Amino acid sequence: MAFVGRFLPLIAVISCALGCGESKKGGAANASSSAVVSPSPRERGEKVVLSIIDELRWCDVNHRGLLIDLGTARATGTQVLEAAAPPAIAAAERQGASWARLFDKELRVTFFHPEPSPVFVSVRAVAARARRASVSIDDVPIGTLSLQEGPSRHYATATTRSPLGVGRHELVIRLGGAKGSDAEPYAELDWVRIGVPDELKRTYGAPTDVDMSMPTASLANVPHRVLAVRAPTTLACSLRIPETARFRANIGMRGDGEASVRIALVRDGVGKQELGRFDVVGGGDARWTEIDVSLAKFAGAVARLELEAYSTTGTGRLLFGDPTVVVPARPVAVVPRARAAIVIVLDGVERSDLPPWRDTPSPHAPNLKRLAESALVFDQHRSPSSRVSSAVATLLSGLAPLTHGVLDASARVPKTLLSIGDIARQGSVRGSMWTGVPTTSAVFGFAAHWEAFAAYPSNEGRAATAPIDDAAVWLTEQSAKPNPDRPMLAFVHARGGHPPWDITPDEADQLPPKNYTGAVRPRDSAQAVAALNGRFSALAPPDEERMRAMFFAALHTQDAAIGALIRKLEEAGRWDSTLLVVTGDVASGRSSMFADGQPLSEATLSVPLYLHFPGGAYAGQRHAHPTDHADVTRTLLLALGLEPPAELGGRDLANVASGADDSGHMSVAYTDDAYSARWGGYVLHGRFDERRPSFCDVLRDPTCRFDRSMHQPIAADAFTRRFVEVHAALPPPLPRETAQLDSESAATLKVWGL
């Protein structure tokens, strides 16, 4: 399936067609060559969390209503999640401004309406093929515009009788009229305004990027990058507020007159909270007024930060100089270089079944219990997919599933994928992969990137611990090889809790329940489970009890193998210089009964993450920071002294643990037809063939049964903007490749239950 243009924000396509980045044009106030430069955030020991100037495309500019400037990157902040390819849009330039040329009859954008009020829609347009434009909001018609030939004109609908509610809405403009050449657009649009009636009689002046942006403006010889506005204008940006955050800006007046500014936060259930009011005066002696407001008491909240110019007089304009949200910068973590890096991925395990997350004792996992006590544990680790091969492909590449393309059961890792095995080989690091899971075997493309590769088919009777055991031998016998000090990377994909289970009939008889006579048996249980298609409720209570007992028995043997690997490293004197990662691919057991590619629920995506850093850094710590597989990939490469490629995502988990990287991280998971993004306690999920995603507060509704978009509109809007920003930044997808199964591979998959 092709993903180019399949799931992209409409206006992101507009903005990138016209040039993603800063505004195309902008004026500059006179700056003295002897200007005094104010301290930068770096010089103040701060890190920028939000730069409103740099990220204006994700913010709203409200001047007598919301303005959507179609000709600039700012329009990226309004988006649509589309199942089909977006309409054809091209750049045009008129009268020194950028316009959008529409070659499709329909323009759809979503927008956030901040307060209940009647609205009208106005546009600045040049008619081409189209002679009329019908306008609707949320599928409710609000008017038809009659477009005229000739120069650009302003067109507007009548004002709605009923108020438009707070929250996200969809605006649709449908163009119709004369037939013509496909090379001729239907119309050209400069901007769209969702207007709010007011009593102002003056002509509307659209605050376009060309109008607002000034790369440099200087007052009293102090320069700043600025946004210049006239009242009434509000700049509103959504964000999740980190601890110790502050809002900083400088405001001033360019030209004659005075201005008044209000800084506020707007939150669901709380409303608008004013943080401060400030007055500035223009003229020849105009100076900057510094704003420094603490946001610390709002830490963790999702809110709209509003910068409101509510009054200006005279001919001048209010300047917002370098408005930013900052936090104190913390030193980057320093961890000793690893001589060996080991990743053990346990298939089909749930975080709640393992220490330290299990509520009851964990006799089946004593070695993981010791690791949890002596290593670093992350409590909110999330898989990037509910498909096992997709999750592992992300671990090996640091790329999202939409980019590496391993999204469905028949996809294989593309030959063009740059994996950690490739990077290791290029960096003179010995790399190996050991897999007991058939969906990460050679036939699915996982063998091509390693110096050594071994697979253990489930139908050959090898012990489930064999991948871990053999990796331990490989890691500790390198002293007999040439260049014994070469760093090593071992990637182990173990069966975890997945059947078939290495349990003899006699051992099974000792498991609960007593006198069991059901059909759940160790060797063919995978096929029986597959027949239930993830429906745990279809099991009779005795079958459920026996299945859980065998699941824990299987985990016990692999836990023992992990313990043996650690002891071998200790005996070889290599443990203190080893990075060990133990995690999962996709959670199973109670949530999905080992079914692959299940719906993207939090139960399925929540997997464990343990890290032992060289030198024992951060030993015994637990962190609630959200993490995902791309973080593990980057951490592995950095620990081995390897340079992560530019397209690789993720963060260094040492920096996350130290607090040096406290960015509001969003974890996004994909299957071939769905997505699920988590940001703090919120989840946005939906399908590519559905226009409106569902918004969930997992702290209130862990199963995400209810869409809370209407109840928490500000959080839903902030979340959607952040998701589209993350999604739009994904590298282009690699060409999809299809696995060609032979009879041996098919037999292995059958035993595995696929």
Is residue 523 in some structural domain?
Answer: yes
Pseudo-torsion of CA 353, 356, 357, 361, nearest 10°? Answer: 60
Residue 694 has pLDDT above 70, yes or no: yes
**What is the tens place of the pLDDT at every residue in 41-72?**
877 888 999 999 998 888 999 999 999 988 66
pLDDT-based confidence at residue 135 (cuts at 50, 70, 90):
very high
Q: With 90 as the cut, is the pLDDT of residue 521 above it? A: no
Share of the chain above pLDDT 90, in %: 62
Distance from C-alpha of 230 to C-alpha of 224, rounded to nearest angstrom: 18
Domain-embedded: residue 93: no
Integer Cα distance of 752 and 8 in angstroms? 36
430-435 and 488-494: which strand pairing?
parallel
- Per the domain annotation, does 236 fall within a domain? no
- Residue 84's pLDDT band (boundaries 50, 70, 90)? very low
Those residues with Cβ within 8 angstroms of residue 746's Cβ, 6 or more apart along the chain or in another chain: none
What is the pLDDT averaged over residues 683-687? 92
Q: How many domains does the chain have?
A: 1
Provide the pLDDT confidence category of residue 88 given band limits of 50, 70 and 90: low
List pLDDT tens digits, range 170-222: 999 999 876 666 778 899 999 999 999 998 888 899 998 888 988 889 999 99
Percent of the chain clearing pLDDT 70 (strictly above): 89
pLDDT for the residue numbered 629: 98
Query: Residues in the chain, how many?
Result: 754
Instruction: Indicate whether 507 belongs to any domain.
Output: yes
Mean pLDDT across the chain: 87
Q: Which pLDDT band holds residue 23 (cuts at 50, 70, 90)?
A: very low
Look at strands 258-267 and 271-281 and give their pairing.
antiparallel
pLDDT band at 481 (very low <50, low <70, confident <90, very high): low
CB 410 within 8 A of CB 432: no
Instruction: Name the least confident of 4-18, 454-468, 608-622.
Output: 4-18
Picking from 3, 732, 747, 745, the residue whose alpha carbon sits closest to that of residue 444 is 745
- Residues ≥6 apart with Cβ < 8 Å to 259: 231, 251, 253, 279, 280, 282, 309, 311, 312, 313, 316, 318
522 touches 463 (CB < 8 A)? no
Predicted confidence at residue 522, as pLDDT, reads 82
CA distance 328 to 305: 19
H-type helices in 53-159, by residue range? none
Q: CB under 8 Å to 733, separation ≥6 — which residues?
A: 3, 4, 402, 403, 404, 405
pLDDT of 34 > 60? The answer is no
Least confident among 148-162, 215-229, 533-547: 533-547
- Per-residue model confidence (pLDDT) at position 592: 63
267 forms bridges with which residues in the sheet?
271
- Whether pLDDT at 638 is above 70: yes
* Residue at 291 is within a domain: no
Q: Once rounded to an integer, what is the mean pLDDT over residues 705-711?
A: 92
What pLDDT is attached to residue 107? 87
Residue 707 has pLDDT above 60, yes or no: yes
User: For the whole model, what pTM was predicted?
Assistant: 0.88
pLDDT digits over 268-306, tens only? 999 999 999 999 999 989 999 999 999 999 998 999 999
Give the model's confidence band at 461: pLDDT under 50 very low, under 70 low, under 90 confident, else very high: confident
**What pLDDT shows up at residue 193?**
96
The C-alpha atoms of residue 301 and residue 594 are separated, in whole angstroms, by 36
pLDDT score of 89: 66
Beta carbons of 685 and 693 less than 8 angstroms apart: yes
Nearest CA-CA partner of 465 in 439, 430, 503: 503
Dump the DSSP string for 481-509.
SSSTTS-EEEEEEE-TTPSSP---HHHHH
Is the pLDDT reported for residue 583 higher than 90?
A: yes
Alpha-carbon distance of 676 to 385, in angstroms, equals 9
Do the domain assignments include residue 442?
A: yes
If we measure between CA atoms, which residue out of 562, 525, 524 comes closest to residue 544? 525
Determine contact, residues 474/466, Cβ cutoff 8 Å.
Answer: no
pLDDT tens, residue by residue, 100-118 = 888 888 888 889 999 999 9
Q: Which two tokens stand for residue 423?
A: 């990077």
Residue 480: band (very low, low, confident or very high) from pLDDT cuts 50, 70, 90: low
Which tens digits make up the pLDDT trace of 245-260?
Answer: 999 999 999 999 999 9
Q: Is residue 104 part of a domain?
A: no
pLDDT at 582 over 60: yes
In this predicted structure, the answer to whether residue 419 has a pLDDT above a threshold of 50 is: yes
Please report which confidence band the pLDDT of residue 26 belongs to, taking 50, 70 and 90 as the band edges: very low
Confidence band for 459, pLDDT divided at 50, 70 and 90: confident
Query: Are the C-beta atoms of 15 and 72 separated by less than 8 Å?
Result: yes
User: Which CATH number characterizes residue 604's domain?
Assistant: 3.40.720.10
Average pLDDT, integer, range 144-153: 92
Q: Which helix (H) or strand (E) holds 401?
A: helix 401-404
Asked whether residue 644 carries a pLDDT value surpassing 60, the answer given is yes
Q: Which residue has the higher pLDDT, 506 or 33?
A: 506
Find the helix or strand (DSSP H, E) in which 626 lies: strand 622-628
Boundaries of domain holding 494:
340-657
Tell me if 546 is assigned to some domain. Answer: yes
Read off the pLDDT of residues 230-247 as tens digits, 9 standing for 90 and up: 999 999 999 999 889 999
User: Does residue 398 or residue 665 have the better pLDDT?
Assistant: 398
Residues 383-411 pLDDT 10s: 999 999 999 999 999 999 999 999 999 99
CA angle 198, 200, 206 (to 5 degrees): 90
Q: What pLDDT does 353 receive?
A: 93
How far apart CA 156 and CA 138 sit, in angstroms, is: 18
